[in-house]
Structure 1
Amino acid sequence: MIRGLFIGRFQPPHWGHVWAIKAILSEVDELIVVIGSAQFNYIEKDPFTVGERIWMLREGLKEGEVDLGRVIIVPIPNIENNAAWLSYIKSYLPPFQVAYTGNPFVAMLLREGGVEVRQQPMYDRDRYVSTRIREMMIKGDQSWRGLVPASVARIIDEVKGVERLRVIMSGEAEPHKW
């Protein structure tokens, strides 16, 4: 059995993620999907909580007709020590034989640790980018909804994600002081 690894922040999950996961599953028996930066939320780059991202990703994959019986979703917080990063993430995961990434730095760290790395499939990368989708939400451009599964858009609406992003970007967001 070949188990693969795919890492992302999924802020939010979009059709490019779903299609990449489907393509990777055509090459491996099982896929570990790591939701990275698990500890970050309510900030510009990472507005959604890890629980929201797990929920969105599962629903988006179901909508994309991905066999969830072949997918393991694992949230992992970041660490600052890049040299120790691979050992750190391995401690959270079942064994895997191959990793998929489009990030050259992540690929370097994986290869230095002896992991086979393959380029993840990229689908219309100029269009399917979470940063761009968040920017569209902030600007009120409703076409962001076509870039994510409908289930993801419903969850974003339910958690008031667009309003959250606008408050975060307004500069008036300040953590509660105890």
Structure 2
Amino acid sequence: MRGCLIGRFQPFHNGHLQVVERISADVDELVIGIGSADASHTVKNPFTAGERLMMIRKTLEPYEITDYVVPIEDLNRNSVWVSHIQSMAPRFDVAYSNNPLVVRLFEEAEIEVRQTEMFNREDLKGSEIRDGIIEGEGWRECVPDAVAAVIDEIDGVSRLRQIG
């Protein structure tokens, strides 16, 4: 069975890693859709799809997780969003999401949706992590080492401080 998880992953953090590990225990393969793949260089979406793909692939490399990482551009048309994902990703049997709109859209497309446990949501929020990067404190412990290395490699701290 193949599952699908969609997220912006701005950046991919320890909560995302725990969700991926949990889902991977339920499925044979996992499709990770990088949402808002067309957005970058803003405070809400500072990293490109390619940079987020690097973050995810380098983080998952040591784990035995069979996965596909697929960039998904925004359509801003909810009625065709699921079919857009299906056209961009390998076939999947079940979708994972806690977002009420995403759950609704997959259910309307008659795709099974499973909700995932949220891990340390108070500290592991993308917006809080991005704020920490801008302020220069408390973000590295919220992301896998591989993600911090990618952020350093692309000079992401300077980027966020400049656009923030």
Aligned residue in 1 for 2:158: 163
Measured on the aligned residues, the alpha-carbon RMSD in Å equals: 1.0
TM-score in terms of structure 2 length: 0.96
**Alpha-carbon distance between aligned partners in 2 of 1:28 and 1:77, rounded to the nearest angstrom:** 25
User: Is residue 2:123 matched to residue 1:127?
Assistant: yes
- Give the structure-1-normalised TM-score: 0.89
Partner of 1:139: 135
Q: 1:66 maps to which residue?
A: 63
Flag structure 2 segments of 5+ consecutive residues without an equivalent.
none
Larger Rg: 1
Equivalent position of 1:19 in the other structure: 18
Taking every aligned residue pair, what percent have the same amino acid on both sides? 45
Unaligned runs of 5+ in 1: 170-178
CA deviation after TM superposition for structure 1 residue 44, in Å: 1.1
For 1:95 and 1:152, the matched residues in 2 are separated by: 28
Verify: 1:57 aligned to 2:53, yes or no. no
Equivalent AA in structure 1 for residue 117 of structure 2:
P
Deviations 1:22-64 (A, max 9, x none): 10011111110000111111011100011110001111122xx
Shift of 1:66: 2.3
CA deviations 1:45-95 (Å, max 9, x no partner) are 100011110001111122xx4224x10110110101110111111111221
2:79 is the alignment partner of 1:83: yes
**How many pairs were matched up?**
164
Give the Cα separation in 2 of the matches to 1:66 and 1:24: 13
1:36 maps to 35
- Within the candidate set 147, 161, 164, 1:152 is matched to 147
